[in-house]
Structure formats: C-alpha cells, structure tokens
Chain A
C-alpha cells in the first residue's frame, strides 16, 4: 500500500546539503528498467526522468524527510516517504496498472472494502446475462447457484442457503415477497440493474438479522449528474424458447434545477422451452417492467423518488402438476413427460401471475463534515396468483396471496475520525399478508412488525482494517388462521434476534490481502414454516408448518486470501464454516397422508443443528496479453449434526472454466473491444445424498455443458452499437439438475443461443 504520511519533524540546524539520491526505476514483476519515468520530490518541487538504463539521480540534497512520487504510463503511481541522512541508493519498482493492462475490464472488486467475501456482477459479465432472470444471472458468481422449478423459475442460493435466508436489496429496499416458496422467483427486473453484488455468509448486521445465507444487492446505475438527455435501446432474442426482449431507457438532468430523472422499461415474451429430445410443455412466460426514478440534489440535501412495477405470467411444466403418489411414481417411471405438446407462446394452466409494486422515497442530508444522514421509506405490494390445472374454474386462481410491506430505515454514515468510519441506524418493517376468499389457505393471514437497530464500524490504519457490528431486531408476528374446529385462531409470537460480526482485513505486501470474518445471524421462523397447510402439486406432498419452531441462528466463519494486481495470475480463495443451530427444514415423514385424491407424502417443518462448509475459488490466468483463462469453482457440504445425515437440496460441486481471447483495438477498424470466449461448466453428482435425504428419486448424474460468448462494439459514423452473442448448452446435452424441483419430470433446456444489441442514443 502507498503511504501518505509526510515527516516534517526534526529539521537539523546543521544542514548537510551535499547528499545524492539515486537508483533505478524497475518493473516490479519483470525487473526490467523503465525508461523515462518521472521521479518527483514533493517537498522540494524538484523532478527528473529516468535515463535509458532506468537510472535517476538527484544531487545537492539536504538532510531531511522527503516524499518521492514516481509516475510512468501504464503503471500505478508510487509514493515513498523516507528520511535522508546520507547519500543513498533507492531502487523504485512500479506495479503495472491492471486497469490499463487488459483490454477487458476486470469485474469484481480488485480492492476489497470489507472482510466478508463479496462478489460483484457488472460490466461485460453482467451484459452477457442480459435476457436471463435474476436467479440465472447470479449463477455467474462463484459460490452462487440457484434452486429452480423448471426452466422459468430460478432463486439464488448462496453457499447452499436460499429463500428467507437470503435477503435481496432491490435499489436499497429489502425486497419483500413470498420468498418462502421454492417456486417463487424474485420479482425484480435484472435489466434495470447496473450492478449485482452478493455478500456471502451470515450478514445480518446491516439489512436484517435473517440474512443467514447472505445478501444480494441489486443496484441500478446512479442518476446522471450532467445536464442533457440520453437513452438506450436493447434488443435481445434467443433460440430454443424463442424469447424476445425489448428494453428502453431514457435519462436526463435539467439545466435550471438540480433535478435528474430516468425511465426504464422492458418487455419479455418467451414460448415453451425445448429440452434436447422434446418440448417442455407450457413453459412459456412473459414479463413487463417499468421503473421511474427522480432525483434532487443540492449541496447538502438530496432526495430520490423511485417507483417500479413488475408483472409476470409464467407457465408451469404441465406434466409436473400431478395428483397423488401413484401419479408421482408414474411420472418418474416415464422416459419423457406425459405431455410434450409442441412449441407455443400461449400459456395455459398451471401458471403463476405475479405483480410487484415498489415505491421508494429517500432523503439524505450532509451532517457537516461528519457524514451523511439517510432516510429511506419503501412501500411494496406483492400479489401472487397461482392457477392450478383444475376443472372449469373460470378465471379464478387457486392461490391468491396479497402481501403489503412498509419499510423505513434511518442511517447515519459517518466519515472517518480517529481512523474509524461506519454507520449507525434503525429500521422498521410492517407487513400484512392476506389471501382471497375461496382460495387455498396455504399461508395464514399475518401481521409482522419488526424494529431493529444497528451499529457497524471500521477501523483502518496502514495495512490493517478491523470491523465490528451488532444489530438487534424485535419481531412480533400476529397470525390469524381459520380452523375448522375452533374458528379463527390468533396465535402470536415475539422474537428477539441479535446479529453480530467481527472482521479483519490485512494487506500483506502489495499483492496479497488476507481477510477473516465471523458473522452471527439469527432468523425468526417465517409464518409459512410455522403454519403452512396445503398440498404441493408438483411434489405430491402435503406440507405442514410447525407452530413450535424457534429462531435459527448461524455462526459463519470465513477466511479469504486475495492475490491481486499481478501481471499473469490474479485470484481469490475463500473457505467457510457455518454452524446453524435450529436449522429449519422440511422433512418428509414416513407415513402417507390419505385424502380423497389418494395417498400423498407428508412433510413437516423441523429443526436440527446443521453444519455447512465449503470453499470458493476464482482466478484469472493471462496466458498471453490477449488470452486469459478464467476459473470459478465452488464446493458446498452440509450435514445434520444431530443425526449425522445429509441435508437435502444442497448445491453439488461446480467448476466453470473459460478461455477468453480479446482482440486488439485497431484505430482504423470499426470494431472495438471485441472478444471471443469458450468455456465449460461441470456440475458433479450430489454424492452426499441418500434415501433419507432424497426419498423420492436419487440425485441425477453429473453433467458438463459447453458455452461460448462473443461481443464487440461497432461504430457506424457517430453511432455506436454493442453486439453480443451467448450460447449455452452448445452440445445440446440432455441432463437433469439436482436443484431443479422438476427433475422428477423432465430434462433441462437444450442448446440456446442468445443475441443482444444495445444502441445508445
């Protein structure tokens, strides 16, 4: 790390002003001399250049403390402070500026800001996911996978944990929807995001103590700060499900007022997906999104108003909607789904229709030199309607849930004093859930009121950063449920949940950063886990909540080594060990439930002490200046500590290796930033599963998928156009994924080529 302190102490009265400072300027990695580097003594305002051998010298210097600033194009600026008491030889070695070395922008944080492992999806990597859902996009990140329900529903999984254990922050507001359902994908338009960041492991302090698995931060780009209007149109199309997407964005800033705005909209439509050997009947979907943002910024005061609308209608694989256990047995026994149909854009029952509104108001105020005070209010409404494949039920859904959430947050982020920076805050959640009459009472009425407060501070000096944070949440849950025998029952609960974190970050020399973090988070059980009551049609299981559940708590220890700013090899390895006490999981019971439709599996929420551990590795190796190998590998293991048995639904080991060739930018060419990439994803069989963890069907085999990406910027006179092609499952491999809930019924999607054109206006 560069040092910035300047010593002005002890000027010797008896000046010796005949000293010489000399040395060589070298490349840190190759040790080659750098010719023509600028060496500047700040205190004396004297500078010189290194000669053809890399040598430099200053003569007639007095004794004293000096700061040397060395600059050279393509290298990072170096500052060195030292005390000169005799003529000295100092060799100065410079580090290549990684940003200038590569044509391709490096994604991911090069300089860590916090001790806890984070991954960022942005830039080119994010562009390559355009057209995919949020859950599918995040799979690009090491340590993140997804729980799927057919080809259309994908939920992010961090280190084996998902659902209520992963908090999603959508533009600074906790996304509140029916996250408990494995077939409920996050209602967020990824096309509106400029960056998606994942914080891995228990991270309850900042956004709520239920973040046992981690946090996903979806962030749109900042509003423009220079006057004028600009826009952008993106067109995406794909083979396979013949998806078409149109997205448009316009933004601007007024000249007279400090007011900026943005409008973003996207419309998606896809037909049924194709497995290599058959059509996946009724897996089409459509999605409409709108987001409007208005920002006001004066010197000290800033305000932001944001509204977003999300609507989707997505079909469910028709053959996965089954009745009883006999049907399930028949379905598993079939080579291919019973109904394959042929390609169509129309969506029939069973399908989901989900609408999500978010209104956000934020105000910020600079509290003098000390920091900034921020207040955020969020109003969300989530309406989820699920249409089963029943008889002639007209337009009526069978599940119709309405969730309304108000969130407030007040945070004071203070600037460093005495090397300490951080934030203090308080937040509230008020949430009400109800369902329409005549529909399935799968989830009871509930009212959730949560009040929390936190402090998170960082202390930084020289190479070391220490972090600590603590949070307390008080959650009260008032349930109203109808019981055939006893009428309306009103059980109520109060939960006290603490979270804490301790972390350290240490820069070991210039290229290596070590970090370690211990996080504690405690999650109150969700109403669904307490009072679920209903049939799950794709699992032939009857799910029941357990009113006796208590909060689950996790202690997650993580250590990360980050090797960065190197010429060839850069990467990161993190190891984690997560102990979860009272881990809540759905256990299939040995007895069947008998009903009018025959026999069903019975599943009940239970608690046990569990353990998750694993490793994430990611690295880039530059084979040449143009050709780079990228590796992303993640391993997750989990065990029920009480019975020493496997837990179901845990991510199998996966590794993705990609070779990327970046073409040179030629000034005469119309093309720039062109690249070509070819890679393979290998997902192992989940060997840590058995008849106890997966009683219905054993884990599927390992699989390997080939993928390729290419992109370029095309210049038409003054108009620039960004083009991209992404191909997935290029060998058209038939496979099934362990974390796809519909793996009993059908294969995954076959080959898909996705085309993308972005035109800035």
Chain B
C-alpha cells in the first residue's frame, strides 16, 4: 500500500508547485489615494474695489480621523464687498510625491446635482450671495459675492451637497448627500 501512494504524493506536490509558481505577484501598492474624495477646500475672496485677494484653506489629507486637518482663519475687512470663489481638490503630498486632482470643474459641469451652502454665525457676520447658475437656472455657489458690515468674530460654515435628482426649488442644505461640511473661524476687522 505504501508503495502505491508514491505517485499520488507526487501528484499533490505537482499541483501545489503549479499553485505557488503560477502567480508570483511582486506588485506593491503605490503612493496613491482615492481620486474622488475632497481633501482640500480653498475659499478665495477678492475685494470688489481692488486689493489683495484673501484665501483660506481647509485641508485634511489623511481623511477622517488620523491627523487633525489644517484650517486657516478667515480674516476679512468690515464694510467690504468681495467676489468669492471656492475650489475643491483631491490632493496627496508626502516626501517628494505630490498629486492634485481638481474637482471644481466636475462640480460645475454637474451643477444640476450640486449646491454649495454658506452659513455665518452670528448671522450677518458675512453674507454670501450665489452668483452662478446651473443649466436649470438654480444657484450652484462656486461663485459668490460676500459682504461684510460691522466688525466681529464668529464662524463661516460651508456645505457642498450632492443632490442628484433632488436639487429643486425646494431643496436646501438638508437635501442629498454631504460631500463637504467645514467651518472657518472668521474675524471681521
């Protein structure tokens, strides 16, 4: 009986050898990230009557949890009207590797499914008015006018909502899926 087992043993080893040699995969994961997740939001406010543009950036490269996001303070002048624009990007940076995917154009293109909402606390600290429109004539919010009056400190909260099929005359900041929900500490001087 022992003798007759030898060929079978060879059989098994053959199969296993086939298994181990057939698919050597030496590929390594690349320093890469998901290209569709927003990591960086940049708000640019340019004074309407000339002057240096003000930018504030909210950045969280490693996603929720992990390292705390880097958040700029938004410092504005009182009694000023600004032309605002906001940019969304998916970025990665470590060592000498740097990779940026701008998502702003995609959002504009899919304007009928997106809306950006701006809220100031206390109310009236800064007032944002959306100036761009989607194909259906609904506001998008990538382009704005921001107006300040009195001095004060508070917060500006910005929401990017994805509202495919639900953006309408009655949709609001509670409609759809939240892609971005960030807050800038704001000071009007």
Contact = CB atoms under 8 A, between A and B. Distances in A.
A363 B10 CA distance: 14
Contact of A389 (B23, B38, B164): B164
A375 B11 contact: yes
Nearest to B35: A438
A341 interface: yes
A91 interface: no
Given A322-B177, A375-B12, A398-B36, A487 B107 contact: no
A487 B15 CA distance: 36
Nearest to B171: A338
Nearest to A326: B178
Contacts of A602: 64-65
A655 interface: no
Interface in B1-35: 1, 4, 8, 11-12, 15-16, 18-20, 22-23, 25, 27-35
B8 A389 contact: no
Contacts of B179: 323, 597
25 contacts: A323-B162, A323-B177, A323-B178, A326-B174, A327-B178, A338-B176, A365-B8, A377-B18, A396-B36, A398-B34, A404-B23, A408-B12, A410-B11, A428-B19, A435-B29, A444-B29, A445-B27, A480-B29, A482-B32, A542-B65, A594-B64, A595-B64, A596-B38, A596-B41, A598-B181
Interface stretch (B54-62, B126-134, B139-147): B54-62
Nearest to B177: A323
Contacts of B20: 430
A645 to B, nearest CB: 25
Contacts of B50: none
A593 B65 contact: yes
Contact of B64 (A365, A447, A535): A535
A598 B165 contact: no
Interface in B156-174: 162, 164-166, 174
A336 interface: no
B33 to A, nearest CB: 7
Interface in B48-97: 58, 60-65, 69, 92, 94-95
Contacts of B182: 596
B175 interface: yes
Interface string A367-380: 10010010101000
Contacts of B38: 596-597
A599 B8 CA distance: 59
A432 B22 CA distance: 12
Nearest to B32: A437
A434 B24 CA distance: 13
Contacts of A599: 181
B29 A445 contact: yes
A380 to B, nearest CB: 12
B31 A487 contact: yes
B186 interface: no
Contact of A377 (B4, B15, B27): B15
Contacts of B43: none
A542 B64 CA distance: 7
A227 B153 CA distance: 89
B23 A482 contact: no
B180 interface: yes
Q: Which 5 A-B pairs have the closest CB atoms?
A: A323-B178, A595-B64, A598-B181, A593-B64, A593-B65
Interface in A595-630: 595-600, 602
Contacts of A597: 38, 64, 178-181
Contacts of A330: 174
Contact of B25 (A398, A434, A596): A434
A535 B12 CA distance: 42
A130 interface: no
A707 interface: no
Given A327-B177, A593-B65, A596-B180, A392 B110 contact: yes
B103 interface: yes
B109 interface: yes
B148 interface: no
A388 interface: yes
Tell me what chain B mostly uses at the interface: helix, strand, loop, or mixed.
Answer: loop
Contacts of A396: 35-36
Interface residues of B, number: 56
A440 interface: yes
A412 B65 CA distance: 52
A326 B110 CA distance: 23
A393 B58 CA distance: 23
Which of B35, B38, B92 has the most chain A CB atoms closer than 10 A to its own CB? Answer: B35
Interface in A385-400: 388-393, 396, 398
Contacts of B32: 437-438, 441, 482
Interface string A415-451: 0000000000010101010110111110011010000
Interface of A: 318, 321-324, 326-327, 330, 338-339, 341, 363, 365, 367, 370, 373, 375, 377, 388-393, 396, 398, 404, 406, 408, 410, 412, 426, 428, 430, 432, 434-435, 437-441, 444-445, 447, 480-482, 484-485, 487-488, 534-535, 542, 544, 593-600, 602
Contact of B29 (A323, A373, A488): A488
B177 A430 contact: no
A389 B4 contact: no
Contacts of A444: 29
Given A388-B36, A542-B65, 18 more contacts: A323-B162, A323-B178, A326-B178, A375-B15, A391-B106, A391-B110, A398-B36, A408-B16, A430-B19, A432-B23, A435-B29, A438-B32, A482-B30, A485-B94, A488-B28, A593-B65, A595-B65, A596-B58
Given A375-B12, A487-B31, A597-B179, A391 B64 contact: no
A413 to B, nearest CB: 13
B28 A480 contact: yes
Given A330-B174, A485-B94, A596-B41, A445 B28 contact: yes
Which of A323, A485, A595 has the most chain B CB atoms closer than 10 A to its own CB? Answer: A595
B25 to A, nearest CB: 5
Nearest to B39: A596
Contacts of B41: 596
B4 A367 contact: yes
Given A324-B181, A437-B32, A600 B94 contact: no
Contacts of A484: 61-62, 92, 94
Contact of B16 (A341, A428, A544): A428
B181 A326 contact: yes
Contacts of B95: 487
Given A373-B8, A393-B36, A596-B69, A339 B106 contact: no
B7 to A, nearest CB: 9
A435 B34 CA distance: 11
A87 B1 CA distance: 52
B184 to A, nearest CB: 13
Nearest to A438: B35
A447 B58 CA distance: 38
A432 B23 CA distance: 9
Nearest to B29: A482
A392 B175 CA distance: 19
A599 B30 CA distance: 28
A9 B15 CA distance: 53
Contacts of B30: 437, 482
A493 to B, nearest CB: 18
Nearest to A341: B165
Contacts of B110: 391-392
A602 B16 CA distance: 42
A327 B114 CA distance: 15
Contact of A595 (B60, B107, B109): B60
A439 B178 contact: no
Interface string B104-122: 0011011000100000000
Contacts of A426: 12
Contacts of A370: 1
Contacts of A408: 12, 15-16, 19
B67 to A, nearest CB: 8
